[in-house]
Structure 1
């Protein structure tokens, strides 16, 4: 494969809106000794990308930012000191380039693509070789692009320090990217899954994927009481909490004594009074904030995916061409999707 001299990439000329995204031409960089050059085939979007574009993300982002964190592509050039990778290998980059194993820290967070480090919505990009993970053979580039953030986050939550086990009850809020992967990983582990959504159509999809119980929270506002009924008053072992303050009180009511509440997002955007300290102490709840995951966890997750190829196949709702990235952002913002929204980057 001939590597071009120039390539296209998106940049955020100024924060405030995804409408400020613009395409520019860049020079394709050569990999340094410990880097590889990757032709990016697909990029998937996160709720985080909407926040970055709007200027509302929780940390300061780079100026003139190339957005997005999640990609899948093909190695086209290898630095002289790189071992273990070759041209033609299909790879994803970890969400944070320097999170190799263990706990995160400030320096690791600063290596997260699409915010504190330049992102991946570009046709070609170099990556540190240690940040890369092989794509499971049965997945397309579009499917694999959904793994670095949404899938690893769900895996870290449910199969991190305290893994779920067969027979556990798992409550999953919503049907977005993290939530759908959490559903798939929980089922692959033998857990019983409860899913909430405001859409009956989305709940039908969750049921088809294997959720045993579904709750429409518009029709059942006190959905936490319904969760307790389902679990005979005990509560669930794990909660995938993506709503934030808008749902936290009910999630804390839904979890069992000494259960685990995984704090992942804040899409509900509604402030309410909830005595987190008293409730957590009284029920001995473990509240765990999830910061995506490491390269080591990514590799472990891919083993699970490869061992359960049908149960864990990524759900891609819609794929947009590179030129329609703004439309992809708008579609994600509409929350009409189930699973992931993907941008096809490569032309071939």
Structure 2
């Protein structure tokens, strides 16, 4: 296609800065329509962002002849439904992360898009950010030697419960789990990008605080298909915040935060380098540009339905004994 003309289903907070403006600023891309079930909010978004058309019905947006690609920016509980709607209309689809509530839904989405011969992309935008592209370059260069193991520690303090309706991120029927699904998916996908697919996974998920009916701590040990080993802990009931992933090789290690811009490299010869690669103003723009380029036949995107589904499979394994103990 000469130009990608996007329609957004679910123009909520994630689309205000992270992605919506990026759809407009990417070369060969234009945002032409938005949809939200609350029509007044859809109209408001369209006016503020200079979008020509707005809808309160997803099917109407998908069938708009001026729209030739769909961005699904709803909570994960609706991703499958709208991806299948886009596939039936023969339109490429870009879905927010995590790809769906579980791996089974991911496979349905992949099958529908492949049958309809339409591309399926997922908004794991760190695969396009200069910071993580640089980390991958360093690993692939061999500067830290052969990668041996990975360690992730992610801690958050317990969020205050204000008595209001629980946000979708801690409602499994909408998100697929708790904050682990929303936040750990970023790190797990980054590791897939940097080191390849994770194979065998073992772990535990528990609720220690009793505040919500979702997991608030997850621990894991896993093995990449390449033979690299890994461990991780994600706690949302800790005394402080921490976000550190270390990739250790035979000559050194690289440490980074998933959610900030820092990189630290320590080598066996004593050399230490610490620096930051700032995020762009619209963090999804580099990945969106890769999606647009692929749709226009001039490039490839690093984040597809198949790569994203692997992250859902890993999370399913880690959460199975918590949500479906009879199947464990």
Q: Shared fold (TM-score greater than 0.5)?
A: no
Greater relative CO, 1 or 2 (CA 8 Å, sep 6+)? 2
TM-score range, shorter chain: 0.3 to 0.5
TM-score (norm 2): 0.36
